[in-house]
Amino acid sequence: MKVAYIGGLWSRNIGNAFYNLGTEAFLKKVGIEEVYFVPDPPQWDCMDIRNNYNLIGALDVDLVLLTGPCMNLKLRQIYEKTFLSLKRKNIPFAFLSAGMSIYDKGEAHEVAKLLSEYPPEFIFTRDDLTAQLLSDAKVPSIYSGICMSMYLDESTTVPRLNDEKYMILNFDENEPVLAGNSEIGFKIKPRSYFERNKYPTHINGLSVIRTRNDSSTISRHKIYSRPNTYHSDLPYGYLALLKNAEYVLTERVHTCAATLVMGGKCQYLTNSNRSLEKRISLLEKVMDEPFLSKPSRISKSKHAAEKELLERKFKALLSNS
């Protein structure tokens, strides 16, 4: 069987790479003979693009998989022509590790309307909330799964680092002032006028390394405006840093996911507008500890159980299709 999964835009958001790598590991694990990683349409970056070649619509494969938070209001505009092209060639498409952006009934209704016109083979969501909203909107063949970032631990290995003990702060636009420690958790406090350009090099005896997930197209001066910053358009350095850190404090969901899956401790902090969205629900199935209140680890038993359940359901669907 030949399966193409759609992803990319790593240079815009390195978190995309974390579930893209996991997707390939998952597909190979469930026995797909030929797995192809195909780039996202450029419209995810700029909706005004009109002259791009439709590579996805021209694929000669047995199944096309859309992944990530694509169940949103842009789906029709970006993918309707592709769905039509695949339909004419009798090539099915489906969703794996799919999430929403706004997480409301209006978004679910628009997605449901499109999918009633172009029915997918199946839909595996990355969280219960997406599955519930789409199910309420009468979208059939929905299964609540997990995010493909949960397979990062099976996708790659990273080196150990020989450096002093460190923690990671992963904030893009605005790094908050933090109070607390790893035992009781950290809280954000207002940044005073006198703290506006002060960024600590150590917190609670640990060296601070900063990472940013945002676009490589912003100015280098802006990216490296804070001390000890790491930034790249490839994921592997990030994964090495996350795995070897004492703990990670972040406003980005997939930084949290990658840290946990690679064996580290992480606390998710709602700092940016993006962090206030409901994407964090994708971690609820694999956690015991209150990762919103203090640095915590993944539940190994829940993680393993969710992966086994997803693999069993996915194999069953493929065997019946």
Question: What are the residue ranges spanned by the domains of the chain?
Answer: 2-154+304-320, 166-300
Conformational region of residue 180, where left means phi above 0, alpha means psi within -120 to 50, and beta covers everything else: left
Quote the CA–CA distance of 266 and 208 in Å, as a whole number. Answer: 14
So what's the pLDDT on residue 192? 81
Question: In this predicted structure, what is the pLDDT of residue 276?
Answer: 72
Q: Which amino acid is at 254?
A: H
Residue type for position 138? K
Contact 188, 269 (CB under 8 A): yes
- 79 burial via Cβ count (<10 Å: 0-12, 13-18, 19+): buried
208 SS3 class: strand
pTM given for the model:
0.94
Q: Residues 169-190: what's their mean pLDDT?
A: 93
Identical topology for domains 2-154+304-320 and 166-300: yes
**Which residue type sits at 48?**
D
Q: Which CATH number fits domain 2-154+304-320: 3.40.640.10, 3.40.50.2000, 1.10.10.10, 3.60.15.10?
A: 3.40.50.2000
Say which residues have a Cβ less than 8 Å from residue 31's Cβ, sequence separation at least 6. 315
Rounded CA separation 137/107 (Å): 10
User: What's the pLDDT at 290?
Assistant: 73
Q: Long-range contacts of range 38-43, CB-CB < 8 Å, 24 or more positions apart?
A: 38/4, 38/5, 38/6, 38/7, 38/64, 39/6, 39/7, 39/8, 39/9, 40/6, 40/7, 40/8, 40/9, 41/78, 41/79, 41/82, 43/74, 43/77, 43/78
CA distance linking residue 255 with residue 257, whole number of Å: 5
pLDDT of residue 57: 94
What's the whole-number mean pLDDT along residues 2-14? 95
Lowest-confidence range among 74-78, 186-190, 302-306? 186-190
pLDDT at 44 over 90: no
Q: Label residue 7 by pLDDT band (50, 70, 90).
A: very high
DSSP class of residue 296? B
- State mean pLDDT over 14-35: 97
Q: Which residues of 20-34 are buried (b: 16+ CB within 10 A; e: fewer)?
A: bbbbbbbbbeeebee
pLDDT digits (tens, 9 = 90+) for 120-162: 999 999 999 999 999 999 999 899 999 999 999 999 999 999 9
pLDDT of residue 214: 86
**Element housing 124 (H / E):** strand 123-125
Average model confidence (pLDDT) for the chain? 93
Q: Is the pLDDT of residue 40 over 80?
A: yes
Residue 309 has pLDDT above 90, yes or no: yes
Each residue's pLDDT tens digit, 241-274: 999 999 999 999 999 999 999 999 999 998 877 7
Classify domain 166-300 by CATH number: 3.40.50
Quote the percentage of the chain above a pLDDT of 70: 99
pLDDT tens-digit map of 93-103: 999 999 999 99
Question: Per residue in 193-221, pLDDT tens?
Answer: 777 788 999 999 999 999 999 887 788 88
